[in-house]
Amino acid sequence: MCGIAGFVGFQISAEEAACQVRTMCDAIRHRGPDADGYHVAEGVALGMRRLSIIDVGGGRQPIYNEDGSITVVFNGEIYNHHALRRELEASGHRFRTHSDTEVLVHLYEDFGSGMVSRLHGMFAFAIWDSRNSSLLIARDRTGMKPLSYMESQEGLVFCSELRSLYALQPERLRVSPSAVMQYLAFGYVPDPDSIFEGVKKLPPGHLLEWNAANGAKLHKYWTPPSAEGPIANEQELVDAIRAKLDAAVESHLESEVPLGAFLSGGLDSSTVVALMGRHAAGRVRTFSIGFAEEEFDESAAARSVAEELGTEHTELLLRPKVEEIFESIAAMFDEPFADSSAIPTFAVAQLARQSVTVALSGDGGDELFGGYSRYWETLRHGAESGGRLGKLLTALGLMLPHMFPGRNRLVDLGRSKWGRYAATVVQPLRLDEGGVARADQPGGTGFVADQLRRWIPAELGDDFASAMMRVDLETYLPGDILTKVDRTSMAVSLEARVPLLDFDLVDFALGIPGSGRVTVGESKRLFRLAIKGIVPDSVLSRPKRGFAVPLGRWFRGPLRHRVEALRKPSPELRQYVDTGAVGRLVSEHLIGRRDHSAMLWRLMVLDCWLAALKMGRLGQPPTLPAMPAMTAR
């Protein structure tokens, strides 16, 4: 697990290139505290920071092919590297290390950019081919590992985190108003855009090839499969899911350093931990956190599962210094990022890092198998909108206080099914005459619903459950969930692995019709059948709980001054919001007329991130907040 950075095409001296690529890597040293490595030659500079996991002694990067003409820097893990190595050795390749990184240069020799489709793993890498002065960068299928780039007339720059770009060329980076609009709507900036103008994220399942003659060419090497028709034999599907789950978890256990797992007590993390217990040597180490506020505390559920599965369990009761941790975590992300569950995710990562270097996570199961309540709740509403009368009732509903009985039902009556889904994943915005986002009162989500539809292939039009999961897989999963896991774990130099996003399991799950994954009132139908007997029965009957934080209490307490301060936004924030509209949001929220927690949190995070950007903190590794002492059980 590492961080990578570099550039190609720039006509600068080798001495200057070496200095610049080192500066880029210094900004992400938290991603790899164990070692660094560089390759600098005419027209190219590659760098990396290494967190040693596999072949700790011999896997230093960059790594080269036999004659030194191919060079790679790599972030991630290749879980099928043993099989690939055997195949490559049989065809005559010679290996110098035991690391998974080395298979990349030899695969490239044989298959060129087509090598990417042979990889099972989480990865972002850059391969320099000195024979034709070309660069290949690629990102894994679901976006577990980040990779951004910026192309100019001089050449191309790439990096794991945008803070490397900022450390290199802060004067060239400008915040994109349209990206701010997307952030305020989604709570993150969806791929392929970034918060900076001219800077792109390489989308999941894509690769990019660059050479001086043709510039950068983007290619999509993987498209999520669609369901192949009605379910023929349900039991065969259940058996296959069970087998693929087991294989996925087993493949993710290779490590030369201590390994454990995050455990919340829910379906996904409990499944991962239970299957780890079948294959791991010794007791599995598990980690969980809870809040002093009982309604947000999942630690009892996690503790119960840990006891039944016999894990070596450690938990932390979180009583955060909210002001300190808010500022630290807002600045921890290289873009504005408003998922407040980043706080407990960071806390459990920091807790785990005191004992292990690798932790398995249960993320991805909800998007694959239909775990979010928004799926079955949207399905429950059935057909399209109720026409003109429905729209009038929607307008009436929006005028009512947030907690008024029946308000949400009135609001939904005038929406299409896509509008209903969109309302669960975005915050509505108003645009000014220049197209700039302005945080405003709740309103329609039609323009966002139209944007979301572009991710859906025509053949999924009748399978609305699959369509919703497909959108989440290509937007919410990489933009929110995996970004949160990557940045918070890497901030403490912890490798987080996501076995439920194993390539074979993903492809298989997406081929199951939506009705097999979620129905009205029942989530993860086939998944639940597959894990029965693997996880404790209590897990199957326990209601789903999100990884939430007590925002309402914090807004009335330690963060109230930040909410009040939004009435007079900072000069940086004022560029993107309507001051009067934000003032109304604050007033309505504080008197209890409507719950604007989500939008207020996004505005607070944006304000804090813009302040960090102004102060130059983005070009430095994140500053970690202090956490309370852990309680072991």
**Which residue numbers are catalytic?**
2
Give the DSSP per-residue string, 406-446: THHHHHHHTS-HHHHHHHHH----EE-TTS-EE--S----H
**DSSP H helical ranges for 492-578:** 503-510, 514-517, 525-531, 537-541, 551-556, 560-565, 571-574
Give the DSSP per-residue string, 114-131: GGGGG--EEEEEEEEETT
Parallel, antiparallel or unpaired: strands 285-291 and 312-318: parallel
**Who contacts 470 (Cβ-Cβ below 8 Å, separation ≥6)?**
224, 226, 455, 456, 457, 460, 510
Structure tokens at 335: 């873009």
Of 352, 371, 358, nearest in space to 288 by CA? 352
**8 A C-beta contact, residue 378 and residue 519:** no
Of 559, 574, 572, 580, nearest in space to 612 by CA? 572
**Buried/exposed code over 46-63 (b: 16+ C-beta within 10 A; e: otherwise):** bbbbbbbbbebeebbbbb
Phi, psi of 129 (to 5 degrees): -110, 105
Give whole-number Cα distances, 409 to 374, 390, 571, in Å: 14, 10, 39
**8 A C-beta contact, residue 1 and residue 51:** yes
Tally of residues, the chain? 633
Give whole-number Cα distances, 78 to 4, 122, 222, 292, 479, in Å: 16, 7, 17, 39, 22
DSSP 210: E
Cis previous bond, 192, omega within 30: yes
**8 A C-beta contact, residue 186 and residue 426:** yes
**Who contacts 183 (Cβ-Cβ below 8 Å, separation ≥6)?**
189, 195, 335, 336, 338, 602, 606
**8 A C-beta contact, residue 600 and residue 586:** yes
Amino acid identity of 248? A
Rounded Cα distance, 534 and 296, in Å: 26
Rounded Cα distance, 615 and 112, in Å: 43
**8 A C-beta contact, residue 606 and residue 180:** yes
Of 406, 415, 408, 404, nearest in space to 382 by CA? 415
